[in-house]
């Protein structure tokens, strides 16, 4: 557990002019990207990671976290104005945000979304800061056998919760294992699946691969969707001279305080569970709020409680999904998995040892997260009306620009054309994975966790001298493996019976 001097030193490191400027820039970029239909927050993160290559570690992580936070606010803008969520987590916001805008109060709806989003995000950050270090201490007491069992549980839960089929989720994770095996065998020191190519000796470049799977594949998907159907949605105009649409008063916010608190609690729990995402939190919170209301018929007609329930919950996931990442090294969703690649690029390995070895950096990151929340509020207050103009950005400008940034990022991180080739290959692969229902979430998390899983598995085999029955002497590992079996039994059939369309992955 970091001492008081480390904590104060870390928090102080966050308050530098350079960090503050990058935090503000990250928030603004996230809000703009979230406001542009066709661009996604994951695309922004995948493209932004290579741009942080030359930055200081804390500055780079603070910038990326700020992009993530800004995107949750920006995604509500098109959801409210054109009933088209800019990010998947804002889908529930459109249910009441768009009707409120149609009723002549678009700015009020966007302000509701901004305030409740910042509340949920800030509250979950406080939970993260409070419990992450104690959880890391608990994780440090776990040996290789327990950690191996924990990772097996994480894989079964993630593959069971994302996508529409557990079988396809497991297949995607197995594919992630396979691609993660490319490079030098850490146990034997011999090359695997390199086919004589020196570029593959260090493994596939994670950043280029992530850009391809998340950003390029999404560009391909959006282009294909645009050629099939063209949106005819007309943005609701935000007028500055409307006396009834000036903003939200404190009394109006406090009227929904219990809704926001419940939504924050739901979002924090959902975010801390690997495999569940912001969209799940938003819809679950909205459903619970509607069921608990005395007048559920008012929902869907511009009720501010619907906006509060969605935005406070989906934003609470942003901080909470770092809990398993920082304490166990297990990313909770794709955004967290992308942050793993940023950590690795800057020479930092997420996991329980992080607080012991990089305590000052982590508390610096915590300080940057708190600052980012207030910057999110300030930038949103000033830029909300401006970002609403981004909705009209033509696809003929958005997609080529995004593809150019992707290509530049892949080239910079790998230092040559090899990264661009990897990006394009995985861009095509990601497109077809989405088309056929294979979870990109499971693939990326499988890829990210494989090196640690392989290391702990080798250590477990050495400790047990190849005897599998040694696991009987480790009750925690037995409980975790039993939970893995239960999750397969429960989540597998549940997924097969689910006839709803596959949810959008976070």
Residue whose tokens read 């088309």: 435
CB 150 within 8 A of CB 328: yes
- Residue positions counted in the chain: 506
pLDDT of amino acid 463:
80
Which of 379, 392, 393, 424 lies closest to 406, judged by CA?
424
CB-neighbour burial class of residue 382 (10 A; exposed 0-12, middle 13-18, buried 19+): exposed
Give φ, ψ of 438 to 5 degrees: -90, 135
CA angle centred on 272, ends 268 and 275, rounded to 5°? 120
- Indicate whether 500 pLDDT > 70: no
Confidence check: pLDDT of 279 > 90: no
Q: Which residues contact 161 (CB under 8 A, 6 or more apart)?
A: 273, 275, 276, 491
Q: Rounded CA gap, 398 and 43, in Å? A: 12
Predicted confidence band at 499 (pLDDT cuts at 50, 70, 90)? Answer: very low
Question: Measured over all CA atoms, what is the biggest interatomic distance in the chain, rounded to whole angstroms?
Answer: 76
Q: What is the pLDDT of residue 392?
A: 67
Rounded to the nearest 5°, which phi and psi values hold at 184? Answer: -85, 130
pLDDT tens figures, 116-129: 999 999 999 999 99
How high is the pLDDT of residue 493? 61
Q: Which residue has the tokens 């607080």?
A: 355
* pLDDT computed for residue 191 by the predictor: 83
Comparing C-alpha atoms, which of 401, 68, 37, 42 is closest to residue 213? 42
CB-CB contact of 353 with 49 (8 Å): no
Q: What is the pLDDT of residue 239?
A: 61
C-alpha span between 457 and 173 (Å, rounded): 17
Residues 309 and 289 sit within 8 Å (Cβ to Cβ): yes
Rounded Cα–Cα distance for residues 12 and 28 (Å): 23
pLDDT digits (tens, 9 = 90+) for 155-198: 787 777 666 677 888 888 889 888 988 888 776 778 888 887 88
With DSSP H G I counted as helix, E B as strand and the rest as coil, what are the percentages for the chain, rounded to 5?
Answer: 75, 0, 25
The yes-or-no verdict on residue 40 having pLDDT over 50 is yes
Residue-level pLDDT at 230: 47
Query: For the chain, what are the domain ranges?
Result: 4-230+237-491
CA–CA gap between residue 386 and residue 384 (Å, rounded): 5
CA–CA dist 216, 47 (Å, integer): 10
In sequence order, what are the residues at sequence separation of 6 or more whose Cβ sits closer than 8 angstroms to the Cβ of residue 292?
none
Q: To 10 degrees, what angle do helices 304-320 and 57-74 make? A: 160
DSSP 211: I
Residue 42 has pLDDT above 80, yes or no: no
Residue in 101, 480, 129, 51 with CA at minimum distance from that of residue 319: 129
Say if CB 76 and CB 93 are below 8 A apart: yes
Residues 220-259 as b/e (b if ≥16 CB within 10 A, e otherwise) read bebeeeeeeeeeeeebbebeeeeeebeebeeeebeebeeb
Instruction: Round the average pLDDT of the chain to a whole number and report it.
Output: 81
- The pLDDT score that the predictor gives to residue 367 is 93
Question: Given its phi and psi angles, is residue 182 left (phi above 0), alpha (psi -120 to 50 degrees) or beta?
Answer: beta
Beta strands 191-192 and 183-184, pairing class: antiparallel
The C-alpha torsion from 154 through 160 and 163 to 165, rounded to 10°, is: 140
H helix runs in 359-499, sequence order:
359-387, 395-414, 417-435, 440-464, 475-497
The answer to whether the CB of 370 falls within 8 A of the CB of 21 is no
pLDDT given at position 119: 93
Looking at the chain, the whole-number percentage of residues with pLDDT higher than 70 is 88
């Amino acid at each position: 557990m970091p001492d008081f001097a480390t904590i104060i030193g870390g928090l102080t490191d966050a308050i530098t002019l350079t960090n503050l400027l990058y935090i503000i820039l990250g928030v603004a970029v996230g809000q703009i990207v979230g406001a542009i239909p066709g661009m996604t927050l994951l695309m922004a993160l995948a493209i932004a990671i290579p741009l942080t290559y030359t930055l200081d570690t804390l500055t780079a992580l603070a910038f990326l976290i700020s992009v993530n936070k800004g995107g949750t606010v920006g995604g509500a803008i098109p959801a409210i104005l054109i009933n088209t969520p800019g990010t998947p987590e804002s889908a529930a916001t459109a249910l009441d945000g768009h009707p409120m805008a149609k009723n002549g109060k678009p700015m009020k709806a966007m302000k509701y979304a901004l305030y409740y989003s910042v509340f949920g995000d800030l509250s979950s950050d406080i939970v993260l800061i409070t419990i992450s270090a104690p959880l890391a201490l608990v994780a440090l007491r776990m040996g290789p056998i327990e950690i191996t069992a924990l990772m097996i549980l994480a894989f079964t839960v993630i593959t069971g919760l994302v996508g529409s089929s557990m079988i396809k989720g497991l297949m995607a994770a197995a594919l992630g294992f396979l691609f993660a095996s490319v490079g030098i065998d850490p146990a034997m020191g011999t090359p695997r699946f390199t086919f004589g190519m020196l570029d593959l000796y260090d493994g596939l470049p994670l950043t280029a691969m992530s850009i391809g799977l998340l950003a390029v594949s999404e560009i391909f998907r959006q282009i294909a969707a645009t050629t099939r159907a063209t949106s005819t949605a007309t943005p609701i105009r935000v007028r500055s001279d409307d006396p009834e649409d000036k903003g939200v008063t404190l009394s109006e916010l406090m009227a929904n305080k219990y809704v926001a608190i419940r939504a924050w609690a739901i979002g924090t729990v959902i975010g801390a569970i690997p495999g569940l995402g912001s969209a799940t939190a938003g819809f679950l919170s909205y459903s619970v709020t509607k069921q608990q209301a005395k007048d559920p018929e008012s929902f869907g007609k511009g009720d501010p409680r619907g906006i509060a329930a969605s935005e406070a919950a989906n934003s609470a996931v942003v901080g909470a999904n770092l809990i398993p990442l920082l304490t166990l090294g297990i990313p909770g969703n794709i955004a967290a998995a992308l942050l793993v690649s940023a950590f690795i690029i800057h020479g930092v390995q997420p996991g329980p040892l992080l607080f012991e070895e990089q305590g000052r950096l982590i508390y610096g990151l915590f300080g940057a997260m708190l600052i980012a929340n207030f910057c999110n509020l300030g930038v949103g207050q000033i830029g909300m009306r401006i970002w609403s103009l981004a909705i009209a950005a033509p696809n003929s400008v958005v997609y080529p620009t995004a593809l150019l940034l992707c290509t530049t990022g892949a080239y910079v991180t790998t230092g040559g054309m090899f990264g661009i080739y990897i990006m394009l290959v995985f861009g095509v692969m990601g497109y077809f994975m989405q088309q056929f229902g294979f979870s990109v979430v499971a693939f990326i998390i499988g890829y990210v966790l494989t090196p640690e899983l392989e290391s702990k598995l080798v250590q477990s085999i050495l400790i047990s001298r190849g005897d599998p029955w040694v696991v009987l002497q480790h009750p925690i590992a037995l409980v975790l493996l039993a939970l893995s079996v239960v999750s397969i039994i429960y989540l597998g059939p549940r997924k097969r019976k689910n006839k709803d369309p596959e949810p959008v992955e976070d």
